[in-house]
Amino acid sequence: MMKDNNVIQVENLSKLFGDFAAVNQISFQVKAGEIFGFLGANGAGKTTAMKMLIGISSPTSGKATVAGFDVYKETESIKKNIGYMSQKFALYDDLTVKENITFFGGIYGLSKKQIDQKRCELVEELGLQEVTKSLVASLPLGWKQKLAFSVSLLHEPKIVFLDEPTGGVDPITRRQFWEMIYKAAHNGTTIFVTTHYMDEAEYCDRVSIMVNGKIEALDTPKKLKEHYKTDTMNDVFLKLARG
């Protein structure tokens, strides 16, 4: 494994809240262009770990670089190179589709021309032509999620972090969402995704499974299933999470 190829490099990263280690000395690497699944039960520390990597939470100890930048000192440089979609829907409900795209494109420093071009592409790809002037609040959740994902890709980040992006949406939309993820990965974007859905874990190139703040397993879905002698990622997860 060539080190230069790693866009995320994490060594013994920890986050303590008082005595409680939400993230306990985790280490892993993510390669460029990879779809990396970051799995774990509720409260296992996935979101906390992710927040350290995207530069909005300072680690307690350990080392990590994202897109070549240090998570302690170079958070603003990291932010230029990543996209992020939170589990809470995070576009503005009281702005229209068009206004949201313009706003986020604008604060990432895209030119007006770039924004217009990106918006046309995005609207066409998602089939939102009819609703560009509707408030985002009026869209169904699935559409909102797809829009939020597309918005997080506006500035063509090297890595995009998705925190439970498909929570609460129907199976068809989930499927479409994953098609979008594949397309972004195909275009060279690294995908770092957390999820609860074990069928989604099967779509990832590699997955890590976090239990109580530690990474208990990390490999391709195929190898993990072989190792734990099960047929599905679901069983792998249950074996690990139940201990």
Residue 27 or 75: the one with the smaller Cβ distance to other proteins is 75
The residue count for binding other proteins (CB under 8 A) is: 30
Does position 106 interact with other proteins (CB under 8 A)? The reply is yes
Does position 108 interact with other proteins (CB under 8 A)? The reply is yes
Please, are residues 158 and 189 in contact by the beta-carbon 8 Å criterion?
yes
Residue 132 has which token pair? 């560009």
Q: What residues numbered 33-62 form the site for other proteins, per CB under 8 A?
A: 51, 54-58
Binding string to other proteins for residues 159 to 178, with x set by CB under 8 A, is what? Answer: --------------------
Residue with tokens 């980040």: 157
Candidates 16, 21, 32, 90: give the one binding other proteins (CB under 8 A): 90
How far apart are the two ends of the chain, measured CA to CA in Å? Answer: 30
CA distance readout (Å), 117 to 36, 73, 98, 121: 29, 34, 12, 6
CB of 109 to other proteins, least distance (A): 7
Strand partners, 83: 160
Does position 86 interact with other proteins (CB under 8 A)? The reply is yes
Strand partners, 96: 135
Residue 93 or 226: the one with the smaller Cβ distance to other proteins is 93
Please, are residues 237 and 53 in contact by the beta-carbon 8 Å criterion?
no
CB of 114 to other proteins, least distance (A): 12
| Torsional class of 194: left (φ above 0), alpha (ψ -120 to 50), beta (otherwise) | beta
Binding site for other proteins (CB under 8 A): 51, 54-58, 75-77, 79-80, 82, 84, 86, 88-95, 99, 102-104, 106-109
